[in-house]
Amino acid sequence: MSKTVLALALIVLVLFQVVCLAKDPPRMTDDTITDQVRLKLTSDPDVKGGALQVDVKQGVATISGSVELPKQRDKAERIARKVKGVKSVVNKIEVKARVPGR
């Protein structure tokens, strides 16, 4: 076999693989999106989202629970919106100020 034929066969094989990969991109599942949102919320130093609940259905993320400040509520929503696969966010987080001494 000549080098030209071998090179042409290699190029055709690479192009075939590229077309196959482009045809079926990996989909983000709701479970994967849920995990990513939870991870981002809990690792954020302002939100401290360990007590927040996250539920994702068809890319719609619903976050609930409570935080101490309105800015934490708003930031949690912004963080969730940035996660790949999230189409929209339903923010059900309540703002409950901490009572001193508790």
pLDDT in tens, 24-41: 556 789 999 999 999 999
Tell me the pLDDT tens digit for each residue of 2-22.
Answer: 778 777 777 877 777 777 666
Q: How far is Cα 62 from Cα 70, in angstroms, rounded to an integer?
A: 17
The C-alpha angle 24, 19, 59, rounded to 5 degrees, equals 20
**Cβ atoms of residues 79 and 41 within 8 Å:** yes
Q: How far is Cα 52 from Cα 44, in angstroms, rounded to an integer?
A: 12
Tell me the pLDDT tens digit for each residue of 56-89.
Answer: 999 999 999 999 999 999 999 999 999 999 999 9
**Cβ atoms of residues 80 and 40 within 8 Å:** yes
Mean pLDDT, the chain, rounded, equals: 87
- What does the pLDDT read at residue 24? 57
Burial category of 11 from C-beta neighbours within 10 Å (exposed 0-12, middle 13-18, buried 19 and up) = exposed
